[in-house]
């Protein structure tokens, strides 16, 4: 079945349809990972986006039960050069095509993804549509489309829920979390409570957490003002660790500004330098916004990490409060585990904060 991918700049790419047989529209982006397509498709940070995979063969190891980053993916579609006709992997349960049909996600294969990626890199991220017929009215409709501003609201949990254990009590604020963040906290025996994006500082303090995790999520961080207010209300009272969107929100809560990148960072081959040590980590990333370097108040925040290729801000730490954030995903999934140690640093920060508070209490008596 012939299918078309059209872009708002007037470009048309012709391929074959697979996955769900629907017309779809969203922001088109590209991911440079060589594997990990299941984790990518189910990552809620891709909410509302059409994902172009730059690796030429996608679907060759099928879909398995272990690599989901969410139960209900919310990306709008996928674009590949070649969709594998047959999967070969001992964990394979269903094919990529069957999975996309079940989740109502359309796909298009047979596209020159190199040419498409070059176009996105040169002209910037833009709106696109996957459809069965392309005409001038489709382009008019695409140009008139206004992308939603409530993306975090669409993917965040509406009710708090627990993942019980006996260790440190961690509140995870869900802006579109990846399950791999919960897995890393569970490996450290944390007692987890996942809460909605619009929880207040007072409600978090009532849960008496040892630490707060600000997760990844989709869209523009300035569209989540309630989260900025919440972070300002808990900062200094509880240790904080922000990842991806959580990093951007932490920066905004401390007076920084953010900007939309030309085509973002999406993949897991992004080299990041830890400034204090010079250590280089290859990291998993998925974001279209970044913190503006000139806006950082260096009397309040320390820049801890930077991206080697374009020198974007990749990490911050507060000078006076127990709080840190990174733009990349230390949980990887997919990607290298170079930065996994940051979860341990978060645990150590919690323990140090509690020891300091306990010492103050002893001196009072």
User: Mind giving me the DSSP string for 265-330?
Assistant: EEEEEEEEEETTT--EEEEEEEEEEEE-GGG--TTTEEEEEEETTT--EEEEEESSSSEEEESSBT
Say whether 256 is catalytic: no
Report whether 245 belongs to an annotated binding site. Answer: yes
Tens of pLDDT, residues 156-171: 999 999 999 999 999 9
Indicate the pLDDT class of residue 356, thresholds 50, 70 and 90: confident
Active-site pick, 244, 256, 281, 305: 244
User: Is the model's pLDDT at 354 over the cut of 60?
Assistant: yes
- Give DSSP secondary structure letters for 48-107: TEEEEE-SSEESTT-B-SS--S-SS----EEE-SEE-SS---TT--B-HHHHHHHTT-EE
> Which pLDDT score is estimated for 362?
58
274 beta partners: 305
> Which pLDDT score is estimated for 44?
97
Question: What number of CA atoms fall less than 13 Å from residue 364's CA on the CB side?
Answer: 6
> Which pLDDT score is estimated for 133?
82
> Which pLDDT score is estimated for 135?
76
Indicate the pLDDT class of residue 1, thresholds 50, 70 and 90: confident
Report whether 100 belongs to an annotated binding site. Answer: no
Rounded Cα distance between 9 and 56, Å, is 24
238 beta partners: 235
128 beta partners: 7, 26
Rounded Cα distance between 166 and 155, Å, is 28
> Which pLDDT score is estimated for 278?
96
Question: What number of CA atoms fall less than 13 Å from residue 184's CA on the CB side?
Answer: 25
Report whether 284 belongs to an annotated binding site. Answer: no
Q: What is the mean pLDDT of residues 225-240?
A: 98
- What number does CATH give the domain 154-360? 3.40.50.880
3-state secondary structure (DSSP) of residue 192 = strand
Beta carbons within 8 Å of 74's beta carbon, 6+ residues apart? 44, 46, 47, 48, 154, 155
Rounded Cα distance between 34 and 104, Å, is 24
> Which pLDDT score is estimated for 344?
98
Say whether 305 is catalytic: no
Rounded Cα distance between 353 and 365, Å, is 19
Active-site pick, 247, 256, 329, 338: 329
User: Is the model's pLDDT at 365 over the cut of 90?
Assistant: no
Tens of pLDDT, residues 47-95: 999 999 999 999 999 999 999 999 999 999 999 999 999 999 999 999 9
> Which pLDDT score is estimated for 74?
97
Report whether 153 belongs to an annotated binding site. Answer: no
What value does the CA radius of gyration of the chain take, rounded to a whole number of Å? Answer: 21
Q: What is the mean pLDDT of residues 301-306?
A: 98
Tens of pLDDT, residues 308-347: 999 999 999 999 999 999 999 999 999 999 999 999 999 9
User: Is the model's pLDDT at 361 over the cut of 60?
Assistant: no
Report whether 289 belongs to an annotated binding site. Answer: yes
Same fold for the pair 2-144 and 154-360:
no
Say whether 179 is catalytic: no
> Which pLDDT score is estimated for 360?
65
Q: Dihedrals φ, ψ of 64, to 5°?
A: -125, 175
Report whether 45 belongs to an annotated binding site. Answer: yes
What is the C-alpha end-to-end distance of the chain, expressed in Å? 77
Mean pLDDT of the chain: 95
Residue ranges of the domains in the chain?
Answer: 2-144, 154-360
Report whether 252 belongs to an annotated binding site. Answer: no
For tokens 């300002």, the residue is 232
Low-confidence winner among 45-59, 78-92, 129-143, 292-306 (lowest mean pLDDT) = 129-143
* Contact yes or no for 25/127 (Cβ under 8 A): yes
What is the token pair recorded at 365?
């008596």
> Which pLDDT score is estimated for 136?
75
Active-site pick, 43, 67, 331, 338: 331
Report whether 124 belongs to an annotated binding site. Answer: no
User: Is the model's pLDDT at 28 over the cut of 70?
Assistant: yes
Q: Which of 3.50.30.20, 3.90.1300.10, 1.10.3720.10, 3.30.413.10 is the CATH number of 2-144?
A: 3.50.30.20
Rounded Cα distance between 69 and 334, Å, is 10
> Which pLDDT score is estimated for 357?
83
Q: What is the mean pLDDT of residues 173-197?
A: 98
Q: What is the mean pLDDT of residues 185-197?
A: 98
| Closest to 41 measured CA to CA, from 50, 57, 32 | 50
For tokens 């733009």, the residue is 327
């Amino acid at each position: 079945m012939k299918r078309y991918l059209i872009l708002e700049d007037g470009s048309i790419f012709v391929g074959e349809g697979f996955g769900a047989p629907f017309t779809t529209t969203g922001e088109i982006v590209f991911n440079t990972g060589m594997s990990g397509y299941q984790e990518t498709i189910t990552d809620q940070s891709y909410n509302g986006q059409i994902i172009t995979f730059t690796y030429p063969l996608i679907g060759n190891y099928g879909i398995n039960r272990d690599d989901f980053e969410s139960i209900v993916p919310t990306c709008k579609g996928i674009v590949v050069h070649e969709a594998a006709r047959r999967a070969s992997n001992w964990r394979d349960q269903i094919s990529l095509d069957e999975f996309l049909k079940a989740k109502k996600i359309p796909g298009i294969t047979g596209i020159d993804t190199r040419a498409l990626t070059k176009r996105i890199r040169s002209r910037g991220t833009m709106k696109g549509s996957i459809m069965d017929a392309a005409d001038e009215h489709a382009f008019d409709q695409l140009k008139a489309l206004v992308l939603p501003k409530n993306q975090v609201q669409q993917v965040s949990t509406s009710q708090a829920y627990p993942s019980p254990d006996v260790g440190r009590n961690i509140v995870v604020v869900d802006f579109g979390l990846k399950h791999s963040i919960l897995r890393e906290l569970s490996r450290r025996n944390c007692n987890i409570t996942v809460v909605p994006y619009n929880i207040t500082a007072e409600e978090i303090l009532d849960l008496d957490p040892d630490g707060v995790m600000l997760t990844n999520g989709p869209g523009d961080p300035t569209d989540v003002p309630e989260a900025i207010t919440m972070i300002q209300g808990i900062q200094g009272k509880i240790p904080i660790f922000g990842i991806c969107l959580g990093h951007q929100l932490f920066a905004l809560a401390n007076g920084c500004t953010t900007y939309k990148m030309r085509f973002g960072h999406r993949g897991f081959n992004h080299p990041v330098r830890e400034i204090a040590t010079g250590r280089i980590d290859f990291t998993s990333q998925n974001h279209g916004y970044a913190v503006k370097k000139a806006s950082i108040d260096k009397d309040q925040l320390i820049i801890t990490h930077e991206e080697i290729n374009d020198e974007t801000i990749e990490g911050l730490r507060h000078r006076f409060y127990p709080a840190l954030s990174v733009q990349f995903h230390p949980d990887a999934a997919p990607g290298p585990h170079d930065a996994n140690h940051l979860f341990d640093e978060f645990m150590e920060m919690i323990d140090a904060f509690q020891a300091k508070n306990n010492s103050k209490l002893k001196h009072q008596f």
